[in-house]
């Protein structure tokens, strides 16, 4: 496969194909050592940029070290990752022309940081997090707001009887 890394409009460097690719092609493997989720958390806790790819078992992540790790996210991607027996491949979602930048939807999960998206797609959801993760985050934020409100209310209620009466 003729892939190359160069500056990208989406984000720093991206992965481009110099040849046309047919829909369904297994383009490149997402290579790298397998590390546990816990180890990834400690190794990269204070690094904003990582090349981690979570495997579907939820226990292991690939610490990307190959060309696939340079592939940028897009909300309207031309590729998708496919896991086959513990290996992850980047597969063409449609016919891709020579010169196109390869992209797939990162569907990030499990992160604390903001991950804004600048892919420029019409249907851009504004974030690299998956739609499901964004829903979860909104629910958690809502729950925090509610519990704060409750706390305030109960404090106020608790304080009332102690207020000295002036009459
Ligand atoms: Zn986007």
The dihedral region occupied by 69, where left means phi > 0, alpha psi between -120 and 50, and beta the remainder, is alpha
Strand 72-73, strand 103-104: pairing: parallel
Higher pLDDT, 9 or 32: 32
> In the block, which residue shows the tokens 């400690």?
42
List of residues 6+ apart from 131 with CB closer than 8 A: 125
Task: Answer whether 0.75 is exceeded by the pTM.
Answer: yes
Asked whether the predicted pLDDT for residue 142 surpasses 80, the reply is yes
Tokens of 52: 């981690």
Q: How many whole angstroms from 112 Cα to the centroid of ligand 1?
A: 18
- Ligand 1 centroid – CA 76 distance (Å): 7
Tokens 């690719």 locate to 21
Question: How far apart, in whole angstroms, are the C-alpha atoms of residue 101 and residue 60?
Answer: 28
Cβ-proximal residues to 103 (8 Å cutoff; 6+ apart), any chain: 10, 14, 71, 72, 73, 74, 76, 77, 78, 79, 119
What does the DSSP 8-state code read for residue 70? G
85-130 pLDDT, tens digit each: 999 999 999 999 999 999 999 999 887 788 999 999 999 999 999 9
The answer to whether residue 162 scores a pLDDT higher than 60 is no
pLDDT of residue 153: 62
Among candidate residues 33, 118, 19, 123, the one with its CA nearest the CA of residue 72: 118
**How many beta carbons lie within 10 A of that of residue 15, not counting itself?**
22
> Does residue 167 or residue 151 have the better pLDDT?
151
CA of 33 to the centre of ligand 1 (A): 28
What is the 88 CA–ligand 1 centroid distance (Å)?
22
């Amino acid at each position: 496969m003729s892939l190359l890394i160069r500056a990208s409009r989406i984000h720093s460097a991206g992965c481009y194909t110099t040849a046309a690719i047919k829909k369904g092609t297994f383009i490149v493997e997402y290579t790298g050592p397998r590390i546990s989720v816990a180890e990834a958390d400690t190794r990269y806790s204070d690094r904003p940029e990582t090349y981690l790819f979570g495997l579907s078992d939820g226990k292991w992540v690939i610490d990307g070290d190959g060309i696939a790790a340079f592939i940028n996210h897009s909300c309207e991607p031309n590729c998708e990752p496919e896991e086959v027996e513990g290996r992850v491949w980047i597969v063409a979602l449609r016919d891709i022309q020579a010169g196109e930048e390869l992209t797939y939807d990162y569907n990030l999960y499990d992160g604390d940081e903001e991950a804004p998206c600048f892919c420029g797609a019409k249907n851009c959801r504004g974030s690299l997090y998956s739609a499901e993760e964004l829903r979860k985050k909104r629910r958690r934020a809502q729950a925090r707001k509610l519990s704060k409100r409750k706390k305030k209310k109960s404090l106020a209620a608790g304080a009332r009887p102690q207020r000295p009466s002036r009459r």
